[in-house]
Amino acid sequence: MANGSLSYPQDTTPLWRDPLRWTRTNRALAMGLLVLGARLVAALVASSMARPGEPVRLVRPDLLVPVEQALWAAVAVWAGLCAVGAGLWRANKELPVYATAVIGAFWITNGLFIYGNGVTSPVGWVLMVTMALLVNLLFDAHHAYGGMALSLCIVVGTSLAQRRGLLPYAPLMSAAGLMEAGGPSNRMLWATLVPTTMAATPMLLLGHVALQRLRERERQLEWLSRVDPLTHLANRRAFLERFQVELARSVRTGASVAVAILDVDHFKHVNDLYGHAVGDRALEQIAQALRSAVRTADLVARIGGEELAVLMPDTELQGALVVAERCRTTIAGIGLIAKGQVVTLTATFGVAATSAGQPVPEMDAVLAAADQGLYAGKQAGRNRVEAGHLSSADHRSSTLG
């Protein structure tokens, strides 16, 4: 924790492990490499089927060579897309049309892939669903579900064309060619396992990253709910929670807890004369001054408009008065320039503390005592530090914690 402040929760995940933080072009390149690998496996399987003497039963053996050529052409296209992406990555250049080209090419080839495997094969449909989620995570819903609709249109179109005899039946391989010794052939296992794994693995990894990002966002929102947005000091809620914790600790250890409440002198006059923007700058500089004047264990908070507080654990009243006086002189040294003039800022402090070895008072009683000191300081002329004292009626044997 920095002096007087709540520490902002930092995201320490390395960039290479968080694709959601990559540039759009780099995400498209990663997707292109993934598809290139899948297309390469498909082309190698087709080439193995075309080897002389290979015992593969085909429905249309005459189409094997054209299919093999088409698959290798697809490999060449995806290799070219990946080469372009690699060049953009090395040049650290963002090209929006590149991502659109990669996503569009995938959805077109996925529709053709389903036709080539047959609409009853689950592989293409698994790819369609998982890649729709993947594209939605990496890019946006428009590219995900619009592209999915494009793939479906290609599947429906090719199926209708096949029914009318305009396209050959697919898949080329017959059911007997997929089986070997009463079970699935190695070729079938490769053709099914590789594309499915290549789609499911990045989906699982991205799901893990997205969940981490969600948890990180929750931590950041929690931090924002406890911090004043102008000064970045703790807000009233965080201050009271921490005060309650320190009082509970005081019950267990017997240590003292001190609090100083300060009010910026004639702050309304500063706002009226110079404007609220200058008033905001004044509060920001006062917050910075307080951070520099307190200890690391102390907590500075903005608990009202121009009212701030300093919580000082393990501090007796005399020590708290010393800290408050240091804060007061630091604030008085601020030279705020507004409308060509130097605006002098001062603050009045009221300080109260529990006593070591004594019953711990209620939090409201300690705050009321500090408020009394603040009121006394204002009555005495402002720009001063005054102690507020707890009466014996304010003490009680606490069971906090």
* Residue 325 known to be catalytic: no
Could you tell me if 345 and 264 are in contact, meaning their C-beta atoms sit under 8 angstroms apart?
A: yes
Q: Whole-prediction pTM value? A: 0.56
The sign of the CA dihedral 147, 153, 159, 164 is negative
pLDDT tens digits for 94-128? 998 999 999 999 999 889 888 887 787 777 788 78
Query: Do 86 and 160 fall within a single domain?
Result: yes
Q: Mark which of 192, 222, 252 sits at the end of a domain.
A: 222
Query: Do 298 and 208 fall within a single domain?
Result: no
Q: Quick check: helix, strand or coil at residue 73?
A: helix
Residue 330: count other Cβ atoms within 10 Å of its Cβ: 18
Token pair of 36 as six digits: 């290139």
Q: Flag whether 10 is in a domain.
A: no
Query: Do 28 and 172 fall within a single domain?
Result: yes
pLDDT tens digits for 49-67? 766 655 556 666 777 788 8
Q: CB burial class (10 A; 0-12, 13-18, 19+) of residue 345?
A: buried
Token pair of 94 as six digits: 């963002």
Domain count, the chain: 2
Averaged pLDDT score across all residues of the chain? 84
pLDDT tens digits for 332-363? 998 888 888 888 899 999 999 998 777 889 99
Element spanning 286, H or E = helix 276-293
Token pair of 65 as six digits: 């060579």
Q: Flag whether 228 is in a domain.
A: no
Which residue in 306, 316, 325, 362 is the catalytic one? 306
Residues of the chain scoring pLDDT < 70:
1-17, 50-60, 171-192, 194-196, 198-200, 203-211, 392-401
Closest CA to 170 of 113, 101, 110: 113
Q: Quick check: helix, strand or coil at residue 58?
A: strand
Q: Quick check: helix, strand or coil at residue 158?
A: helix
∠ at Cα 352 (347, 353), nearest 5°? 140
pLDDT tens digits for 205-233? 666 666 677 777 777 777 778 899 899 99
Range of the structural domain that residue 217 is part of: 15-222
Element spanning 112, H or E = helix 96-117
Q: Mark which of 222, 252, 274 sits at the end of a domain.
A: 222
Query: Do 158 and 268 fall within a single domain?
Result: no
Q: Flag whether 401 is in a domain.
A: no
Closest CA to 306 of 346, 267, 271: 267
Token pair of 235 as six digits: 């807000």
Query: Do 216 and 281 fall within a single domain?
Result: no
